[in-house]
Amino acid sequence: MFRSIDRFRKAHLYDYHAGAVRAWVALVAWGAACVLWAIGSLVGQAADAGGFAGSSLGQVLVGLALVALAAMFPVLIPRTSYFIAVTDIFIFSLLAAAGPAAAVLAAALDGAIGTPRATRRLAPRLSNPATAAIAMFVSGHAQVGLQTALQGQGLSPMAATLTSLCAIAPLYFALSTLIPTGLLSLKQRRRLDFAQWWRAYAWVLAIYLLSAAVAGVVHVNAQQLGVTVLIVGAVVCLSVVSLLRYTLNRAEWERRAQEARIAGAEREARLNQQRFIAAFTHAAAGMAIVGPAGRLMQVNRALCELLGASEDELLGKAFATHLHAGDAELFERQTADVLRHRERSFSIELRLLTRSGHDRNGDIWASLHCSHFDDPGETGTCLIYQLHDISSRRLAESRLQHIAFHDGLTDLANRHFFEQRLAVAVERCRREAERPFAVIFLDLDRFKLVNDSLGHVAGNHLLREVARRLVDALPPDDLVARLGGDEFAVLLEGPGAPAQGRERAHRLLAALGQPLVMHGTEVLPAASFGITFSGDGPRSVDEVLRDAELAMYAAKDSGRGRVLAFDSTMHDRIADKLALEADLRRAIGAGQLTVMFQPIYDLEPYRLYGFEALARWVHPERGAISPSVFVTLAEESGHIEALSAWVVEHAVQQLAAWQRSEPRFRGLCMHVNISGRDLQHSRFVTHVQQVLGRHGVAAAQLALEITETTLMGQLDMALAAMHRLREAGVRFSIDDFGTGYSSLAYLGTLPIDSLKIDRSFVMHMETKPQNVEIVRAVMNLGSSLGKRVVAEGIETAAQLAQLRALGVPSGQGFLLSPPLRADQVPAALVQAAVFWS
């Protein structure tokens, strides 16, 4: 048994010392004795009444049941750990109605049911009901004694009952609270603090007093009105408790929910603050919080690194002191505007200064965004600055801008930049007449010759040298630009521009007149200059450049290497040329051109060899247009391909018609002049093959003539087309042989069949002995290479005799026959009896 007691003490009274254990045991034992006494008293009362049915035990059980029910559903006092219940009303009611024994059982039952809500330990679950039983045992007997005494003093039974119940409520309160408080003090080995006890339990006394008064009133009414009052009172009490419990629980739930929301908001606010501090402190961008006076209140590490200063050196200082002088005024103006209007913000790109006040490696560019920042600790509006270092971007943009507005080869301004500056000059001159300008347009002479003979590397070197000389010869304020290819332009601005224009142009002409050596070859970078002035009339940018270019082309046409100023007659010439170009386009499409045929003869024996097809144009208003004019115009305007295709078609068609009408024509060939540009396109090859096939003419009877100058200029691209046509049987002839350059280097490899000696050599054979030697040399060259030689421009009998003497096999000219219309050819040839036998 002692082992069991020891195990119980270790399990449930482990924090009780010996004295406390003894006090606890005595308390529980006394309480148990009180409960046993109460049970015995009730049983004895029932026996005296002749059994349970005739005693008040039934009422006691009902009362105990109500106590148990009320104890199970107490009302929690909000924001405390204390509960209130109506059990005290029922306990005091039982005391008044059934005596101390019933009240002791009710108090013990209330303690036994209510204690588990506060603790899970067995010790208080036993000691608390025991305390309640003891307290009610003493208080109950005191109430009975007091009630008897009061009745003896003449009070009515009901008044004595009500008074005695209220009188013993403080005693019940003192015993039920002081006993556990004293036991706790004993366990903790400290003195009982009555002041603290009173502060902690004073509210309980109020409940006991109220409960005793209500119980007394209910008991008095029950004595007068019967048991129904007790039932109604019990129901009302339970209902009130239930409603109060529901209301308080609901309010408590809402309070806790509200506190949870508040706690969540506070937690989120703390987290946001922590996030902001972390983001602010560790942000890669420089950040600063600035007070209303414009002084730095808080800065992060990135801003310190950006400005090259410590946090202590920055705080309290005006941010504007760290700005480039050219940006500070604009920044302060924008900041003042934001301070006046809270809804505004701005972004700006600024140059920053380091701690020493000087640029670090030039300008430090930063993108700054400014917005409002509400700081409860500051009066007035604070601002937050966010700065990003954009120095690298600005440097890249500067480089890209230079690339966008400058020529990659010469580093001069390009056409786009030049046109922008010219547009500004045009507009300024329109507003301010005293701000004139001049534009010089220059184009290198024979640049293509350098490119083709020395290569593109040499050509690029020449362009760079020209650019250097132009810049060195002009003041820094004059804008020099490369417009493209070998075209350059100069813009002069200011009051002296018109007078200086010609002087500057001649200075540039002299600067380019000095030769330079490239790859062992001396090259003279000469140029033709055109110049126009703002005084030539109000014009757009395009019109100014057009006029300067017109003047440059006029300089080229007048002999190159000179300076010409623009005048209005140049427009008339261009307009006339454009009108003639449009007429030529219509003439080709509408069939207004004609083809004349000049016979080509074998000179020894004298007989017809073939024809050369010659295009002719008789303009309906201008009359006959020279072939040298309209063929050149077709070359420049891009109509030469259509012209060549048309002449080939008509020439082959006419040869086929002659062959069908006269068998003796079947051995003749047809020579047709073409351009070097024709051989750049594969469609020309296809067109020639289709024409020959369509008209049934043998390919060997067609000879395509091309000048050696145009052939050498497009040699690489022309060779492929020539070989394709040569493989098909078409023959080739070099026209005006001897007037071009470098043809001898390629003569042995070109797929040609004949050489035509230029008329300039034939016509002056009688007066220039050297021409005779040239003709002899060409004849010997042709014979050595197996090429037929044809002399052009035979106009006198002496020329014919001399050519025969030199052994030239073939020729053509007005002496032999002028160009004939197609319908004149048969009759003229029959009349002359030139058919071969």
- pLDDT band per the 50, 70, 90 thresholds, residue 225: low
Which residues, other chains included, contact 734 with Cβ-Cβ below 8 Å and sequence gap of 6+?
705, 706, 707, 708, 711, 743, 750, 752, 754, 755, 756
Question: CA-based angle 209:210:215, to the nearest 5?
Answer: 100
The average pLDDT across 87-115 equals 80
Please give the structure tokens belonging to residue 682: 């594969």
Question: Which residue from 750, 668, 765, 678 is spatially nearest to 708, judged by alpha carbons?
Answer: 750
Looking at 216-225, 282-291, 296-305, which range is the least confident one? 216-225
The average pLDDT across 115-119 equals 77
| Model confidence at 679: pLDDT above 50 | yes
Q: Is 446 left (phi over 0), alpha (psi -120 to 50) or beta?
A: left
Q: What pTM was computed for the model?
A: 0.48
Element spanning 299, H or E: strand 296-299
Which residues, other chains included, contact 128 with Cβ-Cβ below 8 Å and sequence gap of 6+?
111, 112, 114, 115, 180
- Taken as a whole, the chain contains a residue count of 837
**AA letter at 220:** V
Structure-model confidence comparison of residues 595 and 354, the more confident one:
595
pLDDT for 481: 92
Please give the structure tokens belonging to residue 684: 């020309």
Q: In this structure, are residues 747 and 781 in contact, taking their beta carbons and an 8 Å threshold?
A: yes
- pLDDT band per the 50, 70, 90 thresholds, residue 360: very low
d(CA 24, CA 187): 9
Element spanning 338, H or E: helix 325-340
pLDDT for 714: 63
Please give the structure tokens belonging to residue 509: 């002409």
Cβ count within 10 A of residue 377:
6
- pLDDT band per the 50, 70, 90 thresholds, residue 354: low
Please give the structure tokens belonging to residue 747: 């003569």
Cβ count within 10 A of residue 71:
23
Question: Which residue from 683, 750, 666 is spatially nearest to 711, judged by alpha carbons?
Answer: 750
pLDDT for 587: 81
pLDDT for 76: 57
pLDDT for 53: 45
Structure-model confidence comparison of residues 836 and 808, the more confident one:
808
The average pLDDT across 326-338 equals 76
Question: CA-based angle 343:344:347, to the nearest 5?
Answer: 150
d(CA 822, CA 828): 10
| Model confidence at 488: pLDDT above 90 | yes
DSSP secondary-structure letter at 358? S
| Model confidence at 742: pLDDT above 50 | no
Alpha-carbon radius of gyration of the chain: 63
C-alpha dist (Å) from residue 753 to 600, 602, 700, 704, 748: 15, 15, 11, 10, 11
Cβ count within 10 A of residue 783:
13
d(CA 561, CA 566): 16
**pLDDT for 778-819, tens place per residue?**
888 888 888 899 999 999 988 898 989 889 999 999 999 899
| Model confidence at 451: pLDDT above 80 | no
Cβ count within 10 A of residue 68:
16
- pLDDT band per the 50, 70, 90 thresholds, residue 582: confident
The average pLDDT across 425-449 equals 83
Question: Which residue from 80, 124, 86, 120 is spatially nearest to 106, judged by alpha carbons?
Answer: 86
| Model confidence at 54: pLDDT above 50 | no
Does the CA dihedral 129-134-136-137 come out positive or negative? positive
d(CA 433, CA 465): 36
pLDDT for 264: 79
The average pLDDT across 737-744 equals 59
Structure-model confidence comparison of residues 650 and 525, the more confident one:
650
Please give the structure tokens belonging to residue 600: 């080509």
- Looking at the chain, the whole-number percentage of residues with pLDDT higher than 70 is 83
- pLDDT band per the 50, 70, 90 thresholds, residue 248: low
Which residues, other chains included, contact 148 with Cβ-Cβ below 8 Å and sequence gap of 6+?
160
DSSP lists the bridge partners of residue 76 as 83
Cβ count within 10 A of residue 433:
9
b (16+ CB within 10 A) / e for 791-813: bbbbeeeebbebbeebebbbbbb
pLDDT for 837: 38
Most trustworthy range by pLDDT among 479-488, 517-526, 764-773 = 479-488
DSSP lists the bridge partners of residue 288 as 299, 385
| Model confidence at 209: pLDDT above 60 | yes
- The string of DSSP codes covering 230-266 is HHHHHHHHHHHHHHHHHHHHHHHHHHHHHHHHHHHHH
C-alpha dist (Å) from residue 279 to 372, 378, 394: 17, 21, 26
**pLDDT for 531-558, tens place per residue?**
988 876 777 888 888 888 888 888 887 7
pLDDT for 109: 82
pLDDT for 358: 43
pLDDT for 8: 78
| Model confidence at 208: pLDDT above 70 | yes
Q: Round to the nearest angstrom and report the end-to-end CA distance of the chain.
A: 166
Q: In this structure, are residues 286 and 306 in contact, taking their beta carbons and an 8 Å threshold?
A: yes
Q: In this structure, are residues 688 and 648 in contact, taking their beta carbons and an 8 Å threshold?
A: yes
**pLDDT for 630-672, tens place per residue?**
887 788 777 888 888 899 999 999 999 998 888 778 888 999 9
Helices (H), 603-681: 627-637, 640-661
DSSP lists the bridge partners of residue 610 as 600, 669
- pLDDT band per the 50, 70, 90 thresholds, residue 49: low
The average pLDDT across 503-508 equals 86
pLDDT for 783: 85
